[in-house]
């Protein structure tokens, strides 16, 4: 094994989560009797460039041709995108005559706001079914994986972009070097690149082991992201720390020649990472112990519920939920079923653990005693959405960063059941 960024063969084991199926491969009922391939999920760190990474055992082509993740199913995510577009239009002075490209534009959840603001844009989305949903909401979308060839085609057809947006995709590209160069190809020489990606500092410090899955090939600190961007002649100009996905970073980069001096925020973020020990190998080695502690606490809780005859169901079936369920070994004896807002998943089963997925109304009908929220990063949103379970005295539990019960407050109790 070699580091996909620097080519070093000095890769040290950080966390071994065993072998699991691809986390978005939800099973239809007729697939339950078929073989289900699993792949090792073993996080390693390059001792040379400090890029956290998984080997590319499954390709994006396997995952994304029919993808189950529609960004628009999260209200807070759509709102986050709207705010980003408004602020970015102001920050970069985008308007008539500007051109924006979003890579991995999903169902148009973000670019719909760019279209509404009157700025010309194109989305690049590899998944056929998700890209079709974007076009239906009026977002011009090219169905393609971004690589150096497709980037050249898009540039010659549409022109260079003033802004390239790559939100929650930079972890998903096994060809990190080619993808970074392709983003540069899409940009004008004075253009901007905006990347949002989960911050590996939170993965390590808060034990967010379920952000590790096969489709996430690498996990960035600001430090390692700067090294990756440099491969494409891109320099980091600014960084923002975000609350999304349990703590992300938004990286602002420009072609090196037009980048200028990085902001104070870049220096602060690097200093924070260094203080957390993440600019050396030892700082990563606590993740294993923290992850095991989360697994033990969750299993202890579920076994206690079982012993007390409580009915437990899950809320939300995100990909990362499947890393958690598989690593913890949770099946339908401990979580009876999971509900999700995405109709694509209804009637299907979670990969590996084969827990059935139903529509969200099922909770109001069945009135379970405990609801475990798997997308723990949406704690505020879900605590509000699920406030009604307090009406029959149910508990809402979040497994991370440590297992805890949500406060279903008096104000929220008046919320109508959905």
Contact footprint for Zn ion (CB under 5 A): 3, 5-6, 8, 46, 48-49
Name the residue nearer to Zn ion (CB basis): 88 or 224.
Answer: 224
Name the residue nearer to Zn ion (CB basis): 45 or 239.
Answer: 45
Closest approach, Cβ 55 to Zn ion, in A, equals 13
Closest approach, Cβ 175 to Zn ion, in A, equals 15
Closest approach, Cβ 73 to Zn ion, in A, equals 36
Name the residue nearer to Zn ion (CB basis): 46 or 389.
Answer: 46
Name the residue nearer to Zn ion (CB basis): 9 or 407.
Answer: 9
Peptide bond into 401 cis (omega under 30): yes
Closest approach, Cβ 199 to Zn ion, in A, equals 19
Name the residue nearer to Zn ion (CB basis): 48 or 310.
Answer: 48
Name the residue nearer to Zn ion (CB basis): 223 or 290.
Answer: 223
Name the residue nearer to Zn ion (CB basis): 5 or 171.
Answer: 5
Closest approach, Cβ 306 to Zn ion, in A, equals 45
Closest approach, Cβ 47 to Zn ion, in A, equals 8
Rounded to 5°, angle at Cα 163 from 158 and 165? 100
Closest approach, Cβ 222 to Zn ion, in A, equals 16
């Amino acid at each position: 094994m070699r580091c996909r960024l620097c080519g070093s063969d000095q890769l040290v084991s950080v966390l071994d989560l065993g072998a699991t199926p691809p986390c978005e491969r939800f099973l239809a009922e007729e697939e339950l009797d078929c073989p289900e391939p699993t792949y090792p999920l073993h996080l390693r760190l390059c001792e040379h460039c400090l890029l956290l990474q998984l080997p590319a055992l499954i390709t994006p082509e396997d995952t994304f041709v029919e993808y189950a993740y529609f960004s628009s199913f999260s209200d807070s995510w759509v709102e986050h995108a709207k705010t980003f577009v408004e602020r970015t239009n102001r920050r970069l002075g985008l308007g008539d005559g500007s051109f924006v490209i979003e890579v991995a534009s999903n169902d148009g959840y973000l670019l719909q706001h760019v279209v509404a603001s009157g700025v010309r844009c194109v989305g690049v989305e590899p998944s056929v079914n998700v890209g079709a949903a974007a076009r239906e909401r009026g977002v011009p979308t090219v169905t393609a994986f971004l690589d150096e060839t497709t980037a050249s085609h898009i540039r010659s057809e549409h022109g260079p972009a003033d802004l390239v947006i790559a939100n929650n995709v930079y972890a998903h590209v096994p060809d990190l070097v080619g993808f970074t160069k392709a983003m540069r190809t899409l940009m004008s020489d004075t253009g901007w690149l905006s990347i949002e990606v989960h911050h590996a500092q939170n993965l390590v410090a808060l034990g967010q082991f379920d952000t590790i899955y096969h489709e996430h090939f690498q996990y960035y600190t600001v430090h390692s992201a700067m090294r990756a961007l440099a491969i494409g002649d891109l320099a980091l100009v600014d960084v923002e720390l975000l609350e999304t996905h349990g703590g992300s970073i938004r990286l602002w980069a420009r072609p090196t020649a037009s980048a200028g001096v990085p902001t104070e925020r870049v220096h602060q973020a690097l200093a924070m990472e260094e203080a957390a020990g993440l600019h050396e190998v030892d700082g990563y080695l606590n993740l294993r112990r923290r992850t095991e502690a989360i697994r033990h606490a969750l299993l202890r809780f579920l076994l206690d519920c079982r012993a007390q005859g409580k009915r437990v169901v899950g809320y939300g079936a995100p990909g990362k939920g499947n890393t958690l369920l598989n690593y913890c070994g949770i099946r339908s004896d401990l979580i009876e079923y999971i509900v999700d807002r995405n109709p694509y998943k209804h009637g299907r089963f979670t990969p590996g653990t084969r827990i059935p997925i139903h529509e969200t109304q099922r909770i109001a009908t069945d009135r379970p005693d405990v609801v475990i929220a798997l997308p723990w990063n949406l704690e505020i949103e879900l605590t509000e959405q699920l406030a009604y379970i307090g009406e029959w005295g149910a508990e809402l539990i979040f497994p991370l960063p440590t297992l805890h019960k949500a406060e279903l407050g008096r104000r929220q109790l008046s919320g109508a059941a959905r």
